[in-house]
Amino acid sequence: MKSFIKLGKLNIDKYMGFFFLAVLLLWLKTYAVQLTQFKLGVENSIQSFLLFLNPLASAILFMGLAMFRKGKKKYSSLLAIYFVLSFILYANVLYYRFFNDFITLPTLTQTQNFGDVSGSVLSLLKPYDILFFVDFILLAVLVSKRFNFIPVDTSRISRRKIAAVMLTALAIFSANLGMAEADRPQLLKRTFDRNYIVKYLGMYNYTIYDAIQSTKASAQRVMADSNDVTEVVNYTQSQFAEPNPDYFGAAKGKNVIYLHLESMQNFLIDYKLNGEEVTPFLNSLTRDSNTLYFDNFYHQTAQGKTADAEFMLENSLFGLPQGSAFSTKGLNTYQAAPAILGQNGYTSAVFHGNTKSFWNRDEIYKSFGFNKFFDSSYYDMSPENVSNYGLKDKPFFKESIPLLQSLPQPFYSKFIMLTNHYPFPIDEEEATIAPHTTGDKSVDTYFQTARYSDEALRQFFADLKASGLYENSIIVMYGDHYGISQNHNKAMEKVLGKEVTPLVSAELQEVPLFIHAPGLEGGVNHQYGGQIDLLPTLLHLLGIESDQFVQLGTDLLSKEHRELVAFRNGDFVSPEVVSIDEKYYDPKTGELLEETEEFDHLRKIVNQQLDLSDKVVNGDLLRFYTPENFTPVDRSNYNYNYEEPALKE
């Protein structure tokens, strides 16, 4: 074979021919993946063109780095870079199938969770996934010694060629960014939504952007000082909602039992499958005279999902836009519910049928001030009791009752359920309702695991009554996040019997919230609210003032509660307007509305909330502010090693 490849009248040396082939393959593959595997919301011809163009600059730039290597190493380096980029692309596809989101740098610190989610990962694999790496195999074969299809060129690439390649990449990227900014001004400053970055700049540029953002967030703690918290304290005190006198202290002195309803969405309430209620026990609570049921309550989680829900529940602060505060901010100073209640005479404990290190709980719970953490070491983890992420809900609750009885009263407790978790596996003999018939296995079995969890809750209530704890307890049940992501919208259209429009998709972020206590004045509450509002609501029910604490939520029962629910990506819902991707909808009719000053003002409030929360968490600002009559948590006082519980006879 000659030392060059002829393309028309152009003579291109062997390496450059191989280089351009690799660029072409990666460009087309990435475009095809971005087009078919992600729901990026392409709306016009400019966005369509940018989606096609944006992988090109990255492919040229990153693989161009191999040109700096000498001899044969430039081939191996190019192949290594090609494989890494392909792996990043495929890893994001898998992550997107599960979370409907993209990988961020902080999520890579959560590797201690990987072993527990292996079953879910396997369910995400598709037969055609081998195609993600066929092109890499082809390139490797072309330059392998055994086949020698393209004899290796050991000459050094001239500086002029390297400069030309790099300048070409930068020119394409500059044109890409210019067009993106024209279609969406301040793209890199204005949005919390990773979809926009991938849509306009591509997967690989998004990875670089994310790394920069994550590094900036990590540096905030070093740069923060006591002056930074003043703005936050002034804001939270100015937004404080006075408690409702009809409910303030209504549960004073009672035990607190939080039930974390894994993946429970509000559409399940009163939903009938083949004429049969899916969640009959939860349905009955909506009509219970001692239960407050909130039918416009939303999860506000981001990548941390369950951990984000816990974070908001305990702190009335938002989870992070990237990764999970549980994993990356475990050593921060907090003013969390366990510490606040602990200084009001409460013992605190978490019950969870999984390993204590999952989501870094054994570390961050110390910062929250939890006295006890009953993890999997306290339970019978025999194979017949375990499914998916840990202990099944029925044995979990059954074995938890004596542990709960061992706590000094009053106590603040949280039970984290697991059975109703993606991909919703359930043994046939434990399923008491038939699956749905959408043809989407995860969606179909979701109704069966939700029924199982509902039955476990009914039994837990009965056991609480038998134990004598029920009468002196307030029980709060909340959905932690969606169970069915937007990746299953076709199946959900069969479930709901209507098209899943952007507005319907926002409505599907509703999760149930029940507040139940003997003697509590119940009823259906239509207030709009989110998980950020739970802490001040609970404190006021217990008769504890909250105005000195840094809390971004407001009491759901207060007449001054602000009915504006912020989502982590900057979208929001309210009784008057729903904002999705910076478009405004009438929540009653679904009609698209024109932007007004009022809507723009609501968006600014949402962005201010998110920004202040991020400043608090990333800067660890609460170390600079201690409310009156509150003592910061001393982490050295907490140890979650297994201890034989002092069970009551």
Q: Which residues are catalytic?
A: 306
In angstroms, the CA 528 to CA 166 distance is 52
With contact defined as beta carbons under 8 Å apart, do 303 and 107 qualify? yes
Q: How many CB atoms lie under 10 A from the CB of residue 625?
A: 20
In angstroms, the CA 602 to CA 588 distance is 18
β-bridge mates for residue 566, sequence order: 572
Q: Is the peptide bond before 502 cis (omega within 30 degrees of 0)?
A: no
In angstroms, the CA 369 to CA 306 distance is 19
Reported as half-sphere exposure (CB side, CA atoms, 13 A), residue 290 has a value of: 13
In angstroms, the CA 375 to CA 542 distance is 27
In angstroms, the CA 115 to CA 117 distance is 6
With contact defined as beta carbons under 8 Å apart, do 202 and 93 qualify? no
Q: How many CB atoms lie under 10 A from the CB of residue 227?
A: 9
Return all residues near 160 (Cβ < 8 A) that are at least 6 apart: none
The residue type found at 254 is K
Reported as half-sphere exposure (CB side, CA atoms, 13 A), residue 265 has a value of: 21
In angstroms, the CA 384 to CA 395 distance is 10
Q: How many CB atoms lie under 10 A from the CB of residue 99?
A: 17
Give the helix ranges, DSSP H, for 533-622.
534-541, 597-619
Q: What is the three-state SS of 223-287?
A: HCCCCHHHHHHHHHHHCCCCCCCCCCCCCCCCEEEEEEECCCCHHHCCCEECCEECCHHHHHHCC
Comparing C-alpha atoms, which of 530, 503, 529 is closest to residue 588? 503
* DSSP code string of 169-191: HHHHHHHHHHHHHHHSTTHHHH-
